[in-house]
A and B are shown apart, each in its own frame.
Chain A
Amino acid sequence: MSFTGLRALLPKHDLRALLILAAIIIIVMPLFLDIFRLNLVGKYLTYAFVALGLVLCWGLGGILSLGQGVFFGLGGYCMAMFLKLEASSPEQTSIQSTPGIPDFMDWNQLTELPWFWEPFHSLSFTLLAVIAVPALFAFIIGVAMFKRRVGGVYFAIITQAIAAILTILIIGQQGYTGGVNGITDLRTLLGWDIRTTSAQYILYFINAILLFACLLAAQVIRKSKLGRLLVAMREREDRVRFSGYDVANFKIFVFCIAAVFSAIGGAMFTLQVGFMSPSFVGIVPSIEMVIYCAVGGRLSIFGAVYGTLLVNWAKTFFSESFPELWLFAMGALFIGVVMAFPNGLADLYQSYALPWLKKQRLRLPARLGGVKTPQKTTE
């Protein structure tokens, strides 16, 4: 891409935001946090993938999905199935009545591996599935809903129902899915022990890099005509339709992208935390992920990351110190953000912090004798 293209993609303020975020995540956090806390941050950052998807889907496009946990879970479960199979080699499971299958299957009297587990012996298939399964699922939902013009609150409720359905299914089909406990006791990835400190460091950085890749992808979408179309659709869907666009296709696309982001987050969650369970799939976690995005600012891709970190930090803080207060705080957060700060932290930054910073900066060269003209805002 040419330099001007790059400038258009990352105008100065976005570039600065990106660099600051990168410095915090890649340098500050690993330097100042012990591995336990860093692993925790890594876990939070996997939710940031979901929040990022929601910025595109909900913030720009106005499509509120209350079922993003589904995609997070699908990605996470795909990864967990691979890791579980690796941890269930016949040697390691020789005490079971059927060695070579995951322990929970054995407990549920299964005597052979279900067919849909088979391909997850292969890492390359798994990596493909992490992306493809959620994307396909989102595509099917998207086609079914958006082609028939289901939107707004109806879409929200139906995605919520889908999250409920998948949770009930996972819990009910214990023998195939590990049930309510999920898929636990994951140990190695191609023989590499993911529970060691060094592995946790490496996974943290892989996670960070993937997050920045997704941030850049989101930025490309946001800055393209497609991004502006999403905003246009949010406001006047009919006008976009009568300007010659098949509105449904755009919604399907952005919904699939959000699903893929979530799934990457889910897979990285499994790798860093070492298990996957239905408690990350259902209605409650799904709607909680929306609040990460709302706190950061539904229109800001960087805000989504900060929002996720902040809410999760608060959650950990409360659950460690005042567990009974957490739901109050969370409830107040939902109400407060929606009513008082609909555009979240990003808006606070834009309206208060940025003007103040600019004023400080203008003052400095003035004192030095040469006034720089204020930067022209880029298109």
Chain B
Amino acid sequence: MFAEYSMTELTSIFAMQGFAGLLLFSVFVLMALGLAIIFGQMGVINMAHGEFMILGAYVTYLTSLFFSNYLPSLFSGYFFVAMLLAFITTFTLGAFVEWAMIRHLYKRPLDTLLATWGLSLILQQTYRTVFGAREVGVTLPDWLMGSYAITELIEVPINGIFVMVLTLFITFCVYLLMQKSKLGKQTRAVVQNRAMAGAVGINTEKVDRYTFGVGCGIAGVAGSAFTMIGSTGPTSGQLYIVDTFLVVVFGGASNLLGTVAAAFTISQAQSTMEFFLSGSSAKVLTLLTVVIILMLRPQGLFTLKIRR
């Protein structure tokens, strides 16, 4: 099947496919990071995670409208404001949901799954009512438009590069947050021994609320970044939720580095296979492989053996 391509063409095809894979990787990482915190650290399955992400996207959309109508001179920088607003909005909603719903269900993980699914339905319908069923897209500022030609055949879109850089930056921030910040340390303390953490004066309820909020907030930022490469509809979030869960589980749930590695593996596998097979077969094959690996190694790929 390679016969009809020349060597340079093949290289560029692989490069482009690799780039597409990297873009998918960015989306996975962005969605999975928040989930890895919520599921990995708190053991909570948040089926509405995709909807939190979409909320961030809609906030970005609204911000872009606001800037283009009232502050056109500052339009080139609207994205950074939007990202901040997206974080604040989703963080607030997340913390509220934790307070109203999640905290009552900590001992019943399967019920949490069902309840957050209910939440996701409500959010979806809210988006549909407010923004309409059609997908909306943001106008990119000039500096994100166009593409950068590496060679004659290989061109990469600038917005794609931007999202990747953003992904790296956010990942780094999350890493710092979990490893170095007070909240991160407290979260890990609460995860490891709730009673003890409480005994040394950590307000465990508050930590839970902030952790959940931050996880949702990261989803919001992810949604914000998502608008740079795609449009947003009420059900866009649901499309990725299962993939994202697989990424997180595959990576070993409580391990951020594992999450990133898993996202990389899955996205590259899928985009490479997409070149040889149809899109749906590639997806089926990827998901199937992941499921089979998870059956063989349920604890995920990157976990330590722990004492029970």
Which A positions have Cβ atoms within 8 angstroms of B? 58, 62, 64, 66, 144-145, 148-150, 152-154, 156-158, 160-162, 164-165, 168-169, 171-173, 283, 287, 290-291, 294, 324, 327-328, 330-339, 342
- State the 8 A-B residue pairs at the shortest beta-carbon distance, nearest first: A334-B118, A172-B280, A331-B122, A331-B121, A327-B125, A335-B118, A144-B295, A331-B118
Bound-state Cα–Cα, A336 to B119, Å: 11
**Secondary structure at chain A's binding surface: helix, strand, loop or mixed?**
helix
Distance of A95 from chain B, by nearest CB (Å): 29
A330 with B242: CB separation less than 8 A:
no
Bound-state Cα–Cα, A31 to B124, Å: 40
* B249 at interface by CB-CB < 8 Å: yes
Report the nearest B residue to A291, measured CB to CB: B114
B295 with A330: CB separation less than 8 A:
no
* B120 at interface by CB-CB < 8 Å: yes
Bound-state Cα–Cα, A342 to B108, Å: 10
Give me 21 A-to-B residue pairs in the complex whose CB atoms sit less than 8 angstroms apart, sorted by A's number. A144-B295, A148-B295, A152-B109, A153-B109, A156-B113, A157-B245, A157-B249, A160-B245, A161-B242, A161-B287, A168-B287, A169-B284, A283-B242, A327-B124, A331-B122, A331-B125, A332-B122, A334-B118, A335-B115, A337-B114, A339-B101
Of residues 97 through 133 on chain B, the ones whose CB sits less than 8 Å from some CB of chain A are 101, 104-105, 108-115, 117-125, 128-129
Bound-state Cα–Cα, A172 to B108, Å: 36
Q: What A residues does B104 contact at CB under 8 A?
A: 339
Q: A156-B113, A157-B242, A324-B125 are in contact. Are A165 and B280 (CB under 8 A)?
A: no
Report the nearest B residue to A147, measured CB to CB: B295
Q: A152-B109, A157-B246, A324-B129 are in contact. Are A334 and B295 (CB under 8 A)?
A: no
**Secondary structure at chain B's binding surface: helix, strand, loop or mixed?**
helix
Q: Interface size for chain B: under 10, 10 to 19, 20 to 34, or 35 or more residues?
A: 35 or more
* B15 at interface by CB-CB < 8 Å: no
Bound-state Cα–Cα, A334 to B120, Å: 10
B115 with A172: CB separation less than 8 A:
no
Which B positions have Cβ atoms within 8 angstroms of A? 43, 45, 101, 104-105, 108-115, 117-125, 128-129, 238, 242, 245-246, 249, 278-281, 283-284, 287-288, 290-292, 294-296, 298
B280 with A168: CB separation less than 8 A:
yes
Q: What A residues does B45 contact at CB under 8 A?
A: 153, 156-157
Report the nearest B residue to A66, measured CB to CB: B113
B110 with A152: CB separation less than 8 A:
yes
Partner of A332, one of B108, B118, B288: B118
B114 with A290: CB separation less than 8 A:
yes
Q: What A residues does B245 contact at CB under 8 A?
A: 157, 160-161
Q: What B residues does A294 contact at CB under 8 A?
A: 114
Q: A64-B113, A153-B109 are in contact. Are A333 and B118 (CB under 8 A)?
A: yes
A172 with B294: CB separation less than 8 A:
no
Partner of B128, one of A144, A164, A324: A324
Report the nearest B residue to A324, measured CB to CB: B129
Distance of B103 from chain A, by nearest CB (Å): 11
Q: What A residues does B108 contact at CB under 8 A?
A: 338, 342
Distance of A332 from chain B, by nearest CB (Å): 7
Bound-state Cα–Cα, A287 to B242, Å: 13
Report the nearest B residue to A171, measured CB to CB: B280
Q: What B residues does A339 contact at CB under 8 A?
A: 101, 104-105, 115
Q: What B residues does A169 contact at CB under 8 A?
A: 280, 284
A150 with B294: CB separation less than 8 A:
yes
B114 with A165: CB separation less than 8 A:
no
Report the nearest A residue to B296, measured CB to CB: A148
Q: What B residues does A168 contact at CB under 8 A?
A: 280, 283-284, 287
User: Which of A62, A149, A153 gathers most chain B CB within 10 Å?
Assistant: A153
Report the nearest B residue to A144, measured CB to CB: B295
Distance of A27 from chain B, by nearest CB (Å): 34
B129 with A172: CB separation less than 8 A:
no
Partner of B287, one of A165, A173, A332: A165
Partner of B113, one of A153, A324, A330: A153
Q: What B residues does A161 contact at CB under 8 A?
A: 242, 245-246, 287, 290-291
Distance of A25 from chain B, by nearest CB (Å): 27
Partner of A327, one of B109, B122, B283, B296: B122
